[in-house]
Structure 1
Amino acid sequence: MKIGIYGSSFDPVTNVHLWTASTIAHRKRLDKVIFLPSSSRRLDKSPHAADEHRVAMIKLAIADNPKFELDCYELNVLAGMQYTYYTMEYFKQRYPADDLYFIMGADLLVDIGAGKWSHGEELVSKNKFIVMARNGIDMLAAIAKSPLLRNHDDGDRFQLVDKGLAMEISSTYIREEFARGGEPRYLLPDSCYRYIAEHGLYRS
């Protein structure tokens, strides 16, 4: 099987997350996309909703797609083990016979190339990636400018995907709309919209 690991805070999960996962699965012929909510212990993530709410919304959002799956590995690991390198090691042990890819945006590729990720060398040297275009980022140039990335670019390690549409509506925008009494209803699944309203999430 070909499996994509799609990590994000999913705070909340949006229609763009789902569209992106579906597009990547189709373009790269993935058999499964695993939604991986990031640990609240990570220094670069500070979720606004509790883990239980983020997990509940992902379950609602992916319920009708057999290719989508939830894994809460990062929510349960010990402090110090919440880094993507260890996460990919976990999935390689879980799926030893399968072809695994970490799905990320081009902005994260730039950060890894600049040495901003813990265990970045080991992560890049031992894994494969599907990298989604982000506005204003030249993915080929980002790889070429970084010794870490270019020295591991064997033609298969970085699968670059231009989604074709600039759908960049963020979870931050949706949270701000909820906080200010806005109406972001059609930016996320109806089930998640109702869940947020019922539980009073993201209110200022």
Structure 2
Amino acid sequence: MAKIGIYGSSFDPVTNVHLWTASTIQHRCRLDKVIFLPCSNKRKDKQMQTADQHRWNMLQLAIQDNDKFTADNYEMKQNAWNISTYETLKYFKKKFINDTIYFIMGADLLIDIGKGKWGNSELLVKENKFIVMARDGIDMLKAISSSPILRNNDDGETFHLIDKGLAMEISSSYIREEFSLGGEPRYLLPEACYQYIKDHGLYQTEE
């Protein structure tokens, strides 16, 4: 039985921190595979800056040399009303029926789930397992204990908390801003992705 991590993000663009984070989690949690899950342009809660196809192409370039990494465009193919983490994890648990699925997320998202801000928040926690990355200023144990949704659906193995060494913060938005303002973020993302952005004129401010 394999252990598989689902790592969802906009990846707009994928950065070296995304890759480093996934690699660190894969190593520490002894995951057999990390699946990068780019979200769709159709999502109502996120505003994408780049077409799905460009983000997908850059992601493929970024992970091509790591046999522990793969990508899945499941959410990109869904209708807007059917996109939710709860439904996505149901899909992956059915696809990998004999394996253990973990949803990888930051502690800030843990708080949002605990407040019931995600669709089917209670069932999401009750039926799934999570790897939660530390975020500055967030006490993850307190977040769990102070939320009825989180604490009452935690069987002791629901949350794998990673509290040290994942504090690097180089965001995709920072890289987009650098490109748009004529900056040079070359070494903040994979070289192949940097060249792809240059070749396709992505993130440039329109005159």
Q: 1:143 is matched with which residue?
A: 144
1:163 Cα offset (Å):
4.1
Q: 2:187 is matched with which residue?
A: 186
State the alpha-carbon separation in 2 of the partners of residues 14 and 44 from structure 1. 21
Q: CA RMSD in A?
A: 0.8
Q: 2:122 is matched with which residue?
A: 121
- Is the contact made by 1:104 and 1:130 (CA closer than 8 Å) also made in structure 2? yes
TM-score, length basis structure 2: 0.97
State the alpha-carbon separation in 2 of the partners of residues 203 and 88 from structure 1. 35
Gaps of 5+ in 1: none
CA displacement 1:141-199 (0-9 Å, x = unmatched) = 11111100011122110000124142011001000000100011110000000000100
Q: 1:22 is matched with which residue?
A: 23
Per the alignment, in what secondary structure is the counterpart of residue 129 of structure 1? strand
Counterpart check, 1:167 vs 2:165: no
- Is the contact made by 1:23 and 1:163 (CA closer than 8 Å) also made in structure 2? no
State the alpha-carbon separation in 1 of the partners of residues 98 and 167 from structure 2. 35
**What letter corresponds to residue 33 of structure 1 in structure 2?**
V
1:80 Cα offset (Å):
1.3
State the alpha-carbon separation in 1 of the partners of residues 138 and 112 from structure 2. 12
Counterpart check, 1:72 vs 2:73: yes
1:77 Cα offset (Å):
1.0
State the alpha-carbon separation in 2 of the partners of residues 27 and 93 from structure 1. 25
Per the alignment, in what secondary structure is the counterpart of residue 117 of structure 1? coil
State the alpha-carbon separation in 1 of the partners of residues 159 and 72 from structure 2. 23
Higher mean alpha-carbon deviation, 8-17 vs 110-119, is at 110-119
**What letter corresponds to residue 160 of structure 1 in structure 2?**
L
1:60 Cα offset (Å):
0.2
- Is the contact made by 2:44 and 2:80 (CA closer than 8 Å) also made in structure 1? no
CA displacement 1:98-138 (0-9 Å, x = unmatched) = 01000000010011001111111111111000000011111
Higher mean alpha-carbon deviation, 76-85 vs 22-31, is at 76-85
- Is the contact made by 2:122 and 2:153 (CA closer than 8 Å) also made in structure 1? no
- Is the contact made by 2:21 and 2:166 (CA closer than 8 Å) also made in structure 1? no
State the alpha-carbon separation in 2 of the partners of residues 136 and 43 from structure 1. 28
Counterpart check, 1:52 vs 2:50: no
State the alpha-carbon separation in 2 of the partners of residues 120 and 28 from structure 1. 24
1:78 Cα offset (Å):
1.9
Higher mean alpha-carbon deviation, 152-161 vs 20-29, is at 152-161
State the alpha-carbon separation in 2 of the partners of residues 163 and 37 from structure 1. 25
What percent of counterpart residues are identical?
67
Gaps of 5+ in 2: none
- Is the contact made by 2:3 and 2:33 (CA closer than 8 Å) also made in structure 1? yes
Per the alignment, in what secondary structure is the counterpart of residue 86 of structure 1? helix
Number of corresponding residues:
204
